[in-house]
């Protein structure tokens, strides 16, 4: 397993090279330049030229790329907009995004897995239809829309939760109060797909012979479902959750904008609009690393769920 982990981590090197080239190419192909974004619309060409020289934007592309890579790996990449170290800027925002992601994952899992199981067990019941309709709604509705609906319901009409902003860490009362609405809105997408997937995975397992055997042996319904069926349905569910965590990063971009949340998603979007090339570069590369690590963790979890899976 150690070998496997090392092999997977080594694969990061070509992947990062590819991602970095790709991001750099997109940055350079897209119109607009950081100097104009930095100095504002009314800046003179003269001032823009000076700023381009100051941030080495007038160098040939290959030199700019090499410089960015060297700076990234030595931790020296500097944001043009924030005039600070990219790594420390991203790390400063990471807790807000991770806490939000964690809470929405928690909400999604706590709600969607039991709902999926019950839907499968009571297939074609009213509960099944109702929960699947809600899940369908959750998959289809855009995150920013649910966000705004939640804000109006809980902050404006009921006045029980704050409308937006970061109130502190998840484990503080104010922090949690601020995090509930964005986490709920972000969890919808994950919740919807996990409920549907849990249901179908469970249905597949429930019809297997060994389940019938277990039932025939007189094992209680609860043990059959939770121990025999659910454990075997967990692999596709875990894969889905793993993939969805990555999708949550994308969802966070929208949620963080709607809820004025100071996280990595909003940082990346603002960096793109501001054409802060080093910051976009750093954000995307770091997100790629996080994505790979999450996928690796998911793969490693398979081994615990099904000892038959071997990594050698």
Q: Which residues bind other proteins (CB under 8 A)?
A: 30-33, 35-48, 50-51, 54, 81-84, 89, 92-93, 144, 148, 151-152, 155-156, 159, 162-166, 257-263, 266-267, 270, 273-275
CB of 294 to other proteins, least distance (A): 24
In whole angstroms, give the CA distance from residue 118 to residue 109. Answer: 14
Q: Residue 53 is encoded by which pair of tokens?
A: 């020289």
In whole angstroms, give the CA distance from residue 91 to residue 142. Answer: 28
CB of 257 to other proteins, least distance (A): 5
Closest to other proteins by CB, 226 vs 250, is 250
C-alpha triplet 264, 101, 281: angle, nearest 5° = 25
Q: Which residues pair with 85 in a beta bridge?
A: 78
Closest to other proteins by CB, 168 vs 303, is 168
Closest to other proteins by CB, 136 vs 149, is 149
Closest to other proteins by CB, 201 vs 256, is 256
CB of 5 to other proteins, least distance (A): 35
CB of 41 to other proteins, least distance (A): 7
Closest to other proteins by CB, 80 vs 205, is 80
CB of 308 to other proteins, least distance (A): 47
CB of 48 to other proteins, least distance (A): 8
Closest to other proteins by CB, 11 vs 25, is 25
CB of 173 to other proteins, least distance (A): 16
Closest to other proteins by CB, 90 vs 105, is 90
Query: First-to-last CA distance in the chain?
Result: 7
CB of 279 to other proteins, least distance (A): 11
Closest to other proteins by CB, 17 vs 160, is 160
DSSP codes, the chain? -HHHHHHHHHTHHHHHHHHHHHHHHHHHHSS--HHHHHH-TT--HHHHHHHHHHTTTTS-HHHHHHHHHHHHHTT--B-TTT-SBHHHHHHHHHHHHHHHHHHHHHHHHHHHHHHHHHHHHTTTSHHHHHHHHHHHHHHHS-HHHHHHHHIIIIIIIS--S-SSS--S-TTSHHHHHHHHHHHHHHHHHHHHHHHHHHHHHHHHHHTSHHHHHHHHTT--HHHIIIIIIIHHHHHHHHHHHHHHHHHHHHHHHHHHHHTT--SHHHHHHHHHHTT-HHHHHHHHHHHHHHHHHHHHHHHHHHHHH-TT----
């Amino acid at each position: 397993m150690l070998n496997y982990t090392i092999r997977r981590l080594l694969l990061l090197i070509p992947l990062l090279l590819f991602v970095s080239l790709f991001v750099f190419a997109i940055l350079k192909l897209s119109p607009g330049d950081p100097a104009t974004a930095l100095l504002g619309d009314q800046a003179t060409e003269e001032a823009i030229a000076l700023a381009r020289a100051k941030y080495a934007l007038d160098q040939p592309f290959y030199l700019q790329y090499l410089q960015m890579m060297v700076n990234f790996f030595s931790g020296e990449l500097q944001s043009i907009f924030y005039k600070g170290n990219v790594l420390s800027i991203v790390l400063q925002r990471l807790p807000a995004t991770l806490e939000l992601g964690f809470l929405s994952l928690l909400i999604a899992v706590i709600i969607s897995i039991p709902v999926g199981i019950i839907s499968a067990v009571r297939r074609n019941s009213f509960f099944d239809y109702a929960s699947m309709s809600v899940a369908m709604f959750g998959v289809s509705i855009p995150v920013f829309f649910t966000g705004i609906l939640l804000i109006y319901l809980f902050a404006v009409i009921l006045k029980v939760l704050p409308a937006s902003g970061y109130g502190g860490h998840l484990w503080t009362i104010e922090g949690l109060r601020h995090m509930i609405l964005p986490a709920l809105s972000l969890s919808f997408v994950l919740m919807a797909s996990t409920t549907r997937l849990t249901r179908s995975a469970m249905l597949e397992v429930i019809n297997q012979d060994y389940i019938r055997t277990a039932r025939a042996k007189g094992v209680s319904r609860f043990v059959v479902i939770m121990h025999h069926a659910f454990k075997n349905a967990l692999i596709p569910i875990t894969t889905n959750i793993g993939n969805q965590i990555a999708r949550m990063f994308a969802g966070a971009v929208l949620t963080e904008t709607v809820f004025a949340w100071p996280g990595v998603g909003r940082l990346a979007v603002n960096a793109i609009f501001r054409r802060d090339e080093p910051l976009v570069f750093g954000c995307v590369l770091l997100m790629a690393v996080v994505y790979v690590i999450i996928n690796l963790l998911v793969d490693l979890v398979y081994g615990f769920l099904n000892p038959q899976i071997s990594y050698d």
